[in-house]
Structure 1
């Protein structure tokens, strides 16, 4: 009875808020988006190939944003975003033409939100509370050649000494384990308390995510940002993917985070640690990343190293070494490029024997153009 009463009070309060709130202005809409294309050249130790792809680090997309302010200080808005890509970079593999001219439709966000002094409540498909907690990086290269290797070429296969595939970059060698990504959920974000925002969300299958984010500025242009998370996928044990390549067949818990500092000199350092635990071996994993970069005017560079343990199987070790560069031709036009050396050791071959796969090298060059 008490539960029913408390729920009734909450419902009545919410109803009153919407009833007394009169719109202060008409609904405002904004249409925006981007096209992001890249060229990849890769070598797997046996052969090499090239591809012309859509950069999955920040894929081609368009969005519609709308909001309306009310006299009581509340804002009601919508966010509709669709990724429409041709030849997604994560589908590229050496000597595999099946990705040619494939169109990938990704309904990224379809949500409504309510904001005010109480914070923000979002309902629908969108970022889970912990999404992005692996990606705090002030180098200016994140999603454009920098950051996690599986963003760009996760589908490239590692080969054993006989030329037989034993896993892919995103499924076996490296992944930043960035929560559940976008899903249908209800999410709450607190107001900022001195730069600190707390978030929580619940998705289908009772999966819940929590996160804390902090950002501040100091000195003459210095910045610091950090994020940590904890999540439990609960009964959401189907279609749990890492980089769209490897699908877990069991629920898991995840914790960790990332942080980055940018000095007024342009020097920046970023770091990440994530851990996934599960009763199911295929949902295990542990990842690290360290990047050192320098930003001056329109130029962004970063040297990075990332490692994932137990991603392919218990005892597997994947390493990712990278050099990334981004040039801001204008605020809406960015040119980028990166080179990577990726290794995979102690991976099981088809006979269950642990081997060291042949290394993969690849070059990734592209451009992102934004509109409106």
Structure 2
């Protein structure tokens, strides 16, 4: 990977620079401002206490976005994407009887990149989705990020499991469960191929010599049916390591290798079948490997979206740990810009070193998008 960083990155940047300089603009720069506000209510019974949290939905947090693009005279397009999340009391951090972060504001620099697009595909440089981001989340139910789907830890990640004797444990939903969705957003250079017969190939080189590879396929068929699938391979390499001058080596690395994917089938009747599975091998993390399996059955009818789902994560918290999630979710598109959503989740866990009580959660909210 060091050779890739040394030779491929400068070459790609030089190519982008040369193309941009060689072609004058064919039209004025098109600029757009957009964003959303997404707030939710989380009602939780952790087996000892019941509490209510008024939170910002981490699944699709409150954000503002600035985008722009310009067509060049040679037919290529250059553009940028700058997006920042701004809110407080994130749902992935809130816990029962622990409202100390309600006044804290989070600032999430989600995207800050420029891209060049043409018949060769697309190169993107900057803060960007890693090539394999969202390969765990292919789902036509329309409920991913809005109380359903595989990323339920975004709604409940900060909830602590309570031991059988009533003590708060260090095991949280966000540690026991993990969808293993690659490396999320990264400072990177990313390439996406042109789509050929529904197939797109992607690759990115991220900070710390990490790299991500992904393949995606999507197709439509008779009377509104759809099918999509995504697969990835990720190696986090040196990401997260820090150099210790006393030992003359890098320490605290959490290197892992990941592979897997997800798929979703929308039938003409509106029934949706979704599955996701990921395997992660830990190279330096004090544990061996972990797996996540997700299955959902949904139904889409007009402005209504339903899903019942199940998730199982093994080995994410520690070797031998197991987590099970049972969920039921609904979304109503009130208008094109306003979505209402609600869900119920049951979280169970075992193999944590001590027995713990189940967690029950009702999660409901509204997302309002502008522009």
What TM-score comes out, normalization by structure 2 length?
Answer: 0.91
CA distance in 1, matches of 2:10, 2:92: 48
- Map 1:20-169 onto structure 2 (within 5 A): 20-147=22-149, 148-166=151-169, 167-169=171-173
Which 4+ stretches in 1 moved above 4 angstroms?
Answer: 3-16
Kept after mapping to 1: 8 A contact 2:16/2:116? no
Answering whether residue 271 of structure 2 is matched by residue 267 of structure 1, we say: yes
- Map 1:1-372 onto structure 2 (within 5 A): 17-147=19-149, 148-166=151-169, 167-172=171-176, 174-238=177-241, 249-279=253-283, 280-282=285-287, 284-348=289-353, 355-372=354-371
Kept after mapping to 2: 8 A contact 1:134/1:178? yes
CA distance in 1, matches of 2:363, 2:121: 40
Kept after mapping to 1: 8 A contact 2:239/2:253? no
CA distance in 2, matches of 1:225, 1:296: 19
CA distance in 1, matches of 2:278, 2:15: 40
Kept after mapping to 1: 8 A contact 2:297/2:309? yes
Kept after mapping to 2: 8 A contact 1:332/1:371? yes
How far is the alpha carbon of 1:342 from its aligned partner? 0.4
Unaligned stretches of 5+ residues in structure 2: 243-251
- 1:11-45 per-position Cα deviation (integer Å, ceiling 9, x unaligned): 88656533431211011100000000000100111
How far is the alpha carbon of 1:284 from its aligned partner? 3.6
The 1:28–1:95 alpha-carbon spacing in structure 2 relative to 1, beyond 3 Å, is same
The 1:271–1:180 alpha-carbon spacing in structure 2 relative to 1, beyond 3 Å, is same
The 1:286–1:194 alpha-carbon spacing in structure 2 relative to 1, beyond 3 Å, is same
CA distance in 2, matches of 1:316, 1:9: 45
- Of residues 33-42 and 144-153 in structure 1, the stretch that sits farther from structure 2 once superposed is 144-153
Q: Aligned-residue CA RMSD in angstroms?
A: 2.2
CA distance in 1, matches of 2:235, 2:8: 27
Kept after mapping to 1: 8 A contact 2:266/2:272? yes
Q: Secondary structure at the match of 2:20?
A: helix
Q: Secondary structure at the match of 1:170?
A: helix
Kept after mapping to 2: 8 A contact 1:254/1:277? yes
